[in-house]
A and B are shown apart, each in its own frame.
Chain A
Amino acid sequence: MLPGRTLVYPLLVVACLAAAAASLGVGSCGESILIRWGDPGSLQTFTRLTLPRLVMGMVVGATLSVAGTMFQALFRNPLACPYTLGVSSGASLGACVAILVFGGGLWHGWPVVGPAALVGALACMVTVYTIARLRSGCTTGTLLLAGISIGFVCSAVIVLLLFLARTHNLRQALMWMMGSLDDVVGFDGVLESLIMVVPAAGVAAWLHRDLDLLMMGETVAAGRGVNVVAARRLIYFAASLMTAGVVARCGPIGFVGLIVPHAMRVLVGAAHHRLMPACALAGATFLPLCDLLARNAMWWLRQESRELPVGVLTSLIGGSFFLYLLLTRRGDRPML
């Protein structure tokens, strides 16, 4: 490993802890929970809302970043991200059906939006794979085309549902699709996401050398001894599953899975045994920081007690940073 790279991980850990501390300390809408720590309800607020939201933000940021890394390796494409194959569109369709058709909220005492989004994401994942497999034995090209097509179909149905919807449900559906952490209450959602994320992350760790070799080229990978078809299938399902696990809970928070892998490749290189841990730490830093800004931006700017959807900020910051990388990279080095 290059000498400077050894410092990156301690720095990322420090940054992650600092972001967590800032997120807990600053609070929401200009009000820090630390100021009224002695209040009877403050401990409950901390354990039911503040801390779970931070942990969820870290899990979502880390997951989307690692999933983005996997999709970029799978497609050898710098523009691939966790949403390229339509998982987010499937989740959004599921959520929109639950909100716009069934009114959102509860069904026999159970929340419907999260499970519906999960069903949508998983259905989309299986459909894309099945279509791709019908053509040419599921190459990355057919997988990509099937994913993009299914994504467009889902988006079209979402637009149709929005067009036909009653006004009072529209806002809930639109807010869900912007991506947000403000619905996180308690640790149940975190644990439900982790049930899908942890096994998928295990698969990613198991296949780190396969990811390296697929990125070097499928022919090279096969020549080295990689079972390309099996590796491709496992990577697709693992990355899609972990994406579905977090998107179903928080909506499609954009750009994290695109920009974090780019930035970390510059710092630690392309090998996935270094890249994926760095992405997980950076994602777990980036999203809570964006969430901190999203919670307080309207208060700081206009003294308004409402939150921005965090997806707006991740896209704004991520897009700007992407442009910065594009404009400042050295000419003799590939951007990825």
Chain B
Amino acid sequence: MGIEARGLTVVRIGRTVLRDVDLKIDDGERVCIIGPNGAGKSTLMAALLGLLPAERGEVRLDGAPLDRLGRREVGRRVAYMPQVHEGHLGFTVREVVQSGRYAHVHPLAGLDRADREAVDRAVEACRLGNLLDRPVGTLSGGERQKVWLAAALAQDTPAMFLDEPTAALDPRHQADLIGIMRRYAAAGRTLVVVCHDLNLPPAIGGRVVALRDGAVVFDAAVEQLFDPAVLGALYETTFVLHHGPDGRRSVHLDV
């Protein structure tokens, strides 16, 4: 599914957080959004979904203006996993994953066969089969993150937006989540990820959009990100780049 923002400006509590952002994400594309703290990454993601009102500009999903689509229709087109989950943790894993079917189900009807299959696929993809009856509050941070991701997968949408999905996870859970994201994108679906970890974009592939002070300052293929001048200007610090024998590149702080 294609997403396009034109002249998007967002003001929050008197502060302009996004300034005239133009961004076009094609159907099936993988895009990582990076930038320093406060650059407007999460705000951009929320505004692209219509979760924050735009002061100026517009967003279109598959050419349709976002503000003319109902929330339920948006929920059928884009799944979203926010950075912070502040809700009640007494729901079971099964209930949270099933909640992903909200936009597809009549309010007074139960889940039909297609809904149950979508839930089963999401549970299988995130390997949550043995946790289904556990309350989310009893799980580890990594397991919880998989549950939120499974709920987004259960929405079975042509696009998925993830806000810092691997933040605060141990390496094993990071690898698990990256694998799930890759498989999702490999099916030709649109994947947009906000991240701080600069080694996540090469793991996902595709394109990188960098924000600074609410404006897009870099928009290119992920291979072009690994330039000390680009990263240094973006984050105002110095980085060391590594080129592995298999051609993979990684980056860490020069401290």
Contacts and interface: CB of A to CB of B under 8 A. Distances in A.
Query: Do they bind each other?
Result: yes
Interface of A: 2, 76, 205-209, 212-213, 215-217, 219-220, 222-228, 265, 269-271, 332-334, 336
A209 B87 CA distance: 14
B88 A336 contact: yes
Contacts of A215: 87-88, 91
Contacts of A219: 46, 51, 82, 84
B95 A207 contact: no
Given A220-B148, A334-B135, A336-B88, 9 more contacts: A209-B102, A212-B95, A216-B96, A217-B87, A223-B80, A224-B102, A224-B151, A227-B70, A332-B138
B155 interface: yes
A209 B106 CA distance: 10
Given A222-B71, A333-B137, A216 B87 contact: yes
11 contacts: A76-B88, A208-B107, A209-B102, A216-B87, A219-B51, A220-B85, A222-B49, A224-B151, A269-B95, A333-B90, A333-B137
B102 A225 contact: yes
A223 B88 contact: no
A231 to B, nearest CB: 9
Contacts of B84: 219
B254 interface: no
A183 to B, nearest CB: 36
A2 B134 CA distance: 10
A219 B137 CA distance: 18
B76 interface: yes
Interface string B139-172: 0000000001001100100000000000000000
Contacts of A269: 90-92, 95, 135
Contacts of B137: 333-334
A330 B91 CA distance: 16
A207 B103 CA distance: 13
A207 B107 contact: yes
B133 interface: yes
A58 to B, nearest CB: 24
Contacts of B72: 225-227
List 9 tightest A-B contacts by C-beta distance, closest first.
Answer: A225-B75, A223-B80, A225-B103, A217-B87, A216-B87, A270-B90, A227-B71, A224-B102, A225-B72
A202 to B, nearest CB: 10
B86 A224 contact: no
A176 B124 CA distance: 57
Contacts of A336: 88, 90
Contact of A206 (B79, B87, B100, B107): B107
Nearest to A215: B88
Given A269-B95, A271-B95, A333-B135, A223 B87 contact: no
B49 A223 contact: yes
Contacts of B79: 223
